[in-house]
């Protein structure tokens, strides 16, 4: 029987933790798997492991599930490491929001773009650099499957730290929901089964900045991009106005939705500010904790716990690489090794990908000329932030501010980020 160890960093997440258990044990039924769940919250990670052991027992899958609060024990001997961790995300984001409101009032606040996005990126880069250092010592041959945001920046930092890295984000498949409304006028929810059975699509670009490059009828094979453009010109809508506007301007539609793509453009008048960068309020988290406790104790079914599952499924990649179950992924993030020739080779890009025991093989994609400058600018911002996090130089942080189109007042932006560095000094290396 195959023996494979997967360490899950940040397994106490109420969304991602149960999803990993469901995908590994109930869906893929990976007998011989060891899931080493790691989280700083001792009670939550123990309960999560209890849920996993119950799933394995009742599903008849011979899988081992352990709980850890020490990184070294979880990582030792791992074949794969899945990371969904973020340190004190709610508290730290609120700190950044306060700094921005004081030093750069009116600046667009989001989780990925601008001042708050750069500050979050630098904290996440510091975290992944520590994890990568431990991986080089404790599991030097392991792959890192990163789910943590800001995903391309975290993944690129891990890659540059010497760890084989794949980034997982499935937000681009939301385009099937957008297409369903444009073509049929109705809404469709994840996993967008109707849309995926109706069309084949090629999605590529950068994370949260992926484009619909090809759309065909699954049965007919007919090119449907001209019809998509015609419908948009006639007033059909998915409700994602800005994504549709780019389709009218370039001929190709952004797939991540307006709430994500705003992180890469100068803000629109009246843009809504993000006020919370975590899943749920404290009351909701307490409710989820009670549910987790009851499921672990066998007092409640696990259906409610896994109902709102993560779209990301890194366990499918484990099944492909370690259990002989080749798979196709519509979107994986890998370092650009020529799969998108128009973009720099030192950044993570998002393309379709096939995976086997030999590892992931990305599909080569040619970006249309109309969208290349936009993708290049996005790649340059990511590269600048990662460079700043690696060199730990304040001037490089300021350079990232200069490149970021969401920061309109560059002087105020640099001052605010300097204050963010001071506020989070306990999580960051010293920036000189």
pLDDT tens figures, 386-416: 999 999 999 999 999 999 999 999 999 999 9
Strand 327-335 to 348-356 pairing:
antiparallel
Claim to verify: residue 164 and residue 180 sit in the same structural domain: no
Q: Residues 6 or more apart from 371 whose CB is under 8 A from it?
A: 205, 211, 250, 252
Residue 176's pLDDT band (cuts 50, 70, 90): very high
Confirm whether 108 is domain-assigned. no
Claim to verify: residue 164 and residue 179 sit in the same structural domain: no
Claim to verify: residue 127 and residue 54 sit in the same structural domain: yes
Range of the domain at 31: 4-88+115-168+280-322
pLDDT of residue 111: 85
Claim to verify: residue 224 and residue 132 sit in the same structural domain: no
Express each pLDDT in 331-367 by its tens digit.
999 999 999 999 999 899 999 999 999 999 999 999 9
Claim to verify: residue 65 and residue 136 sit in the same structural domain: yes
CA distances from 20 to 13, 82, 237, 317 (A): 10, 9, 34, 12
Express each pLDDT in 184-225 by its tens digit.
999 999 999 999 999 999 999 999 999 999 999 999 999 999
Confirm whether 330 is domain-assigned. no
When pLDDT is averaged across residues 251-272 and rounded to a whole number, the result is 88
Express each pLDDT in 301-328 by its tens digit.
999 999 888 999 999 999 999 999 999 9
Claim to verify: residue 139 and residue 37 sit in the same structural domain: yes
Claim to verify: residue 133 and residue 181 sit in the same structural domain: no
Nearest Cα to Cα of residue 35 among 52, 58, 60, 19 = 52
Residue 288's pLDDT band (cuts 50, 70, 90): confident
pTM of the model: 0.95
Q: What is the CATH number for 61?
A: 3.90.1820.10
Confirm whether 267 is domain-assigned. no
Claim to verify: residue 248 and residue 296 sit in the same structural domain: no
When pLDDT is averaged across residues 53-60 and rounded to a whole number, the result is 97
């Amino acid at each position: 029987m195959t023996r494979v160890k997967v360490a899950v960093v940040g397994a106490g997440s109420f969304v991602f933790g149960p999803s990993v258990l469901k995908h590994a044990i109930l869906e893929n039924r990976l007998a011989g798997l060891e899931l080493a769940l790691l989280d700083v919250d001792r009670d939550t990670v123990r309960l999560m492991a209890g849920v996993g052991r119950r799933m394995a027992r009742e599903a008849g899958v011979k899988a081992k599930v352990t709980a850890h609060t020490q990184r070294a024990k979880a990582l030792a001997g791992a074949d794969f490491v899945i990371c969904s961790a973020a340190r004190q995300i709610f508290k730290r984001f609120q700190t950044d929001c306060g700094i921005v409101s004081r030093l750069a009032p009116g600046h667009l606040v989001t989780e990925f773009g601008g001042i708050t996005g750069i500050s979050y990126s630098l904290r996440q880069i510091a975290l992944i650099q520590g994890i990568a250092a431990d991986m080089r010592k404790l599991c030097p041959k392991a792959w890192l499957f990163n789910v943590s945001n800001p995903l391309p920046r975290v993944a690129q930092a891990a890659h540059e730290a010497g760890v084989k890295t794949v980034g997982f984000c499935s937000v681009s498949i939301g385009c099937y929901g957008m297409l369903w409304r444009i073509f049929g006028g109705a809404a469709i929810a994840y996993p967008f089964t109707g849309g995926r059975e109706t069309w084949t699509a090629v999605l590529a670009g950068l994370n949260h900045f992926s484009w619909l490059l090809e759309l065909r009828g699954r049965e007919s094979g007919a090119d449907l991009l001209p019809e998509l453009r015609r419908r948009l010109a006639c007033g059909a809508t998915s409700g994602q106005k800005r994504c549709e506007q780019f389709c009218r301007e370039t001929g190709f539609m952004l797939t991540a939705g307006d709430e994500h793509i705003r992180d890469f453009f100068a803000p629109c008048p009246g843009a809504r500010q993000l006020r919370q960068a975590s899943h749920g309020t404290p009351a909701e988290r307490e409710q989820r904790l009670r549910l987790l406790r009851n499921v672990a104790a066998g007092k409640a079914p696990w259906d409610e716990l896994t109902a709102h599952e993560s779209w990301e499924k890194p366990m499918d990649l484990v099944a492909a690489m370690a259990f002989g179950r080749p798979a196709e992924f519509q979107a994986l993030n890998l370092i650009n090794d020529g799969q998108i020739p128009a973009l720099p080779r030192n950044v993570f890009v998002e393309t379709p990908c096939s995976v086997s025991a030999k590892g992931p093989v990305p599909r080569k994609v040619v970006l249309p000329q109309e969208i290349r400058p936009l993708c290049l600018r996005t790649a340059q911002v990511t590269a600048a932030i990662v460079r700043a996090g690696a060199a730990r130089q304040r001037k490089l942080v300021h350079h990232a501010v200069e490149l970021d189109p969401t920061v309109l007042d560059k002087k105020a932006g640099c001052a605010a980020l300097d204050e963010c560095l001071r506020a989070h000094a306990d999580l960051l290396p010293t920036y000189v």
